[in-house]
A and B are shown apart, each in its own frame.
Chain A
Amino acid sequence: MPLDTSTYSLALLRLDGRRWNELRRLTAQISTQAAADGSSYLEMGNTKVICTVTGPAEGKRTGGAGTGGGNEAEVRVEIGIAGFSGVDRKRRGRNDKRISEMQTTISNTFASSLFTHLYPHSTININIHILSQDGSLLAACLNASTLALIDAGIPMRNYICACTAGSTSSHSANDEAADPLLDLNNLEEQELPFLTVATVGESDEVAVLVLETRVQMGRLEGMLAVGVDGCKQVREILDGVVRRRGKRILESAAV
């Protein structure tokens, strides 16, 4: 069902009352689970994700020559979308196309940003559980994985920070004056064109760019600029989470 976002131009406020360049509430915790090597819990608005990392460990020999036997560690990602996460209860199979695409995206991203050459013949398993979904699914998964990998102590080049950016009018409206939007929720994602962008730390280096909806070429640059800007805000928040955790460890060690 299409959603009426035409009211945006009246007050320049979005459906949930945010302005164009505002992120939703982003909170995170790390080391949430004692049994895993690294774990994190991340909320982006109403999207809630738990991520656990095991490894680097010797990979399981599951028939055939896997790439885990090479000179670099293999990054494996498994995403589980809980049946209760959406509005309606829906079970997704393990080999859902969308899920496997997200898995590949995340695993490729971290394979290039982690120092995998330090761990030959081993696997790093990233397990992501999506408990509640309200847009920005891929971005939330990327951010949660970054935190869990940091918690696991796996060396990486920099934070991978992700967020989404969209545009205020749909492709068919072909509105030249459309504003870019930052961090879309589920309702906005259903109607508006949007992209997911992830950058490496505070640099402008783009690590992931996923655009699945149709959008005019002219609007893309604005969306991308807003997205990269949002990633920098996300980086500050993630950095704050990690530093707070580090401080707490130091305090408990001092006693």
Chain B
Amino acid sequence: MAPSSTQQVLLSPAELSYLHTSLSLDPPVRPDARTSSQFRPLIAETDILPGTNGSARICFADGTEAIVGIKAEVEKSRPSYQASADRNVAEDDDDEEDEETRRDEQLAKEKKGLNEWVEMSVEIPSFRDDDSMPVFMAAMLSEALLADGAFTNKLWINRRFHWKLYLDILLLSQPLSYPLPLLSLTTHLALLSTRLPRLKSEEDEDPLFDDDWAASVFLYPRTQSLIRPPVTLLVMSVGNNIIFDPTKEELAVAESVLAVSVGERPQEKSQGDMDVDSGKPARDLRLLAIRTIDPPSRLTPAGVPNTLNTATGGTAAGTTEQASSKRETMEEEGVWQPPRGGAKRKLIAAMIQAVLARGGVAEEVLDGLDAVELG
């Protein structure tokens, strides 16, 4: 179960109903006059802390601010029983296979990183470290990062040593809206700016690094096709409308909320169908993780319809069971009902489609992040 947004929005049932109605129009009318896929403006900077391997800071327009600092330390790898077991099996069954290729395969297998080489911690003011919100956020962010299994391979140094990456995510302001996208984007930029010292030693020697920081290598190498770390976006639905980057008020009437993590696939060299007319290649996006988030709208107070209100000539229900069963069957315009039940499958598919489609929101966000000058 996901924790709901931290601060309860103080809106009356009538206000919630108004907001819900305007968001379910076609096209939806949002309180801040954005279109349904428009994001709020933000300020971003990278490489702000010289004491870290990589760092970034993002300020959203509503004043929420996050800083991410990444530190890497060399750590001794534990001898893996898995690997040695694999080796024994390999020796048993394919005797006739070439020795050379087998060694290469072995090396490729050993170059695999472990998920425990990445440690992520989220700190939110006035929350304890073991509160559900920071723990859940950290789990969601690391899930997206580790989903493709290729990230930890970058941390492999040699058979005996590896980098241990510590990602410390600080939310500097109160969590006004659900801070997941903010934290995800900041982590994304910090990872892009992360540099590790260049390795000078060879093979399985004790690692020795170049002490010239100017010669350090980026964790995400700056090649022609820069593969970006994943981003997690928040998508919500009201009726059949799909709305991106919801504010606190919009989340208070959301019918379902999804956190969608999107990554980029490495670009294949073979270009069968030549897209001559498109100036730059389209991003090859893939879905890494989806989480449904318990919308805070479930905790909002329901409105009382006239038929249940003695002040307007109705008859109040005798027991709470009767009241809730009556409310369950009622579908009255303008009376706020907290959403019940899950989202429709078709709607979830449409939400994912809107994120991933060519020219969709994920592409737009990644293009926007391209504009951030990286150190």
Contact = CB atoms under 8 A, between A and B. Distances in A.
11 contacts: A33-B63, A33-B65, A35-B62, A80-B170, A83-B71, A84-B49, A84-B51, A85-B69, A89-B168, A94-B128, A131-B69
A83 B65 contact: no
A84 B166 contact: yes
Interface stretch (A46-54, A63-71, A212-220): A46-54
B296 to A, nearest CB: 18
A35 B173 contact: yes
Contacts of B50: 46, 132
A136 to B, nearest CB: 15
A100 to B, nearest CB: 15
A46 B52 CA distance: 12
Interface string A103-135: 000000000000000000000000101011000
Nearest to A133: B51
Contact of B51 (A33, A36, A46, A80): A46
A127 B73 CA distance: 29
B51 A91 contact: no
Main secondary structure of the interface of B (DSSP, over half): loop
B52 A80 contact: no
B240 interface: no
Among all A-B residue pairs, the 8 with the closest Cβ atoms = A35-B63, A84-B69, A34-B63, A89-B71, A83-B168, A35-B173, A89-B166, A84-B71
A91 B170 contact: no
A83 B174 contact: no
Contacts of B21: none
A30 B168 CA distance: 25
A72 interface: no
Counting chain B CB atoms within 10 Å of each CB, the highest count among A52, A78, A131, A132 belongs to: A131
Interface size class of B (residues with CB under 8 A): 20 to 34
B111 to A, nearest CB: 24
A3 interface: no
A251 interface: no
A254 interface: no
A46 to B, nearest CB: 7
A52 B172 contact: yes
Interface string B58-75: 010111110101110100
A250 interface: no
Interface string A25-51: 000000001111000000000101010
Interface of B: 49-52, 55, 59, 61-65, 67, 69-71, 73, 121, 123, 125-126, 128-129, 166, 168, 170, 172-174, 176
Contacts of B51: 46, 84-87, 132
A80 B64 CA distance: 17
A221 interface: no
Given A33-B59, A35-B174, 12 more contacts: A33-B63, A35-B62, A35-B176, A36-B63, A36-B173, A80-B123, A82-B69, A84-B70, A85-B69, A86-B51, A94-B129, A127-B172
A88 interface: yes
A133 to B, nearest CB: 9
Nearest to B65: A33
Given A54-B174, A84-B52, A85-B51, A131 B59 contact: no
Contact of A83 (B69, B125, B126, B176): B69
A91 B65 contact: no
Counting chain B CB atoms within 10 Å of each CB, the highest count among A80, A83, A87, A93 belongs to: A83
A32 to B, nearest CB: 8
Contacts of A33: 59, 63, 65, 172-173
Interface residues of A, number: 26
A140 B161 CA distance: 38
Counting chain B CB atoms within 10 Å of each CB, the highest count among A78, A84, A86 belongs to: A84
Nearest to A131: B49
B129 A50 contact: no
Nearest to B164: A89
Contacts of B125: 78, 80, 127
A35 B64 contact: yes
A83 B70 CA distance: 9
Contacts of B73: 88-89
B61 to A, nearest CB: 8
Nearest to A125: B126
A82 B173 contact: no
Contacts of B62: 34-35
A48 B172 CA distance: 14
Contacts of B129: 93-94
Contact of A132 (B49, B121, B173): B49
Contact of B67 (A36, A78, A91, A131): A131
A143 B284 CA distance: 49
A46 B170 CA distance: 19
Contacts of A48: 49
A82 B168 contact: yes
A80 B69 CA distance: 14
A129 to B, nearest CB: 6
Interface string A231-245: 000000000000000
A140 to B, nearest CB: 15
